Amino acid sequence: MRPLGPIELGLLPEWIAAIPEDVWSRENEQKPNRFEVLDKTEHIVFKFVEGLDDWRRSYERPLWNEWRDRLQPYLDAATAAYGYARGAFPRIMLARMRPGGVIHPHIDGAPAARWPHKIHIPIFSNAQVGFYVEPEWYHLPVGQAFEVNNAGVHAVRNDGDCDRIHLIFEYYDVDQPIDDRTPSSP
């Protein structure tokens, strides 16, 4: 777990709180990230990888056009310290975990998840949300950005009485050299 620093949330919590339940339901039903370990965690996916073998090919989902200008300042603020001249965001989503929710222990093993930085910005949370990154549990406070080691075992529990919502995204340097950790050039 790597702290990236505070993020001024501004109106983002209000915008997210105003998302109608039917939008959450529709987007969650249509989400491309249907992995059993996520249990009942709900997602609104704005961008996603075309396949699980290469993070450099992604596509925009319909809500991205509506949310791009709202989310881009938060993405930029959280990733400024990386200093990439040409950074890219292959996956961008909101993840909502209801009280009692879990994400089971797992490793993001697909090739598309191996290279990019996996970043979380907690928007809503409570003191009983625990984020496990082997070998310890963390509490991620609202308004702070964190890079999560998704190549290690990680899990989440919401033992509180309110939703936990994170803005989650991946980030990489478009100009990164190709080596034995990366798939062939597109």
Domain enclosing residue 50, as ranges:
2-173
98 in a domain, yes or no? yes
Q: Is the pLDDT of residue 33 over 80?
A: no
CA atoms in the 13 A half-sphere facing the CB of 143: 6
Closest CA to 169 of 113, 126, 128: 113
108: CATH: 2.60.120.330
119 in a domain, yes or no? yes
186 in a domain, yes or no? no
Q: What is the pLDDT of residues 80-96, one digit of tens each?
A: 999 999 999 999 999 99
Q: What is the pLDDT of residues 129-178, one digit of tens each?
A: 999 999 999 999 999 999 999 889 999 999 999 999 999 999 999 998 76
Q: Where are the alpha helices (DSSP H) in 33-128?
A: 63-79, 111-114
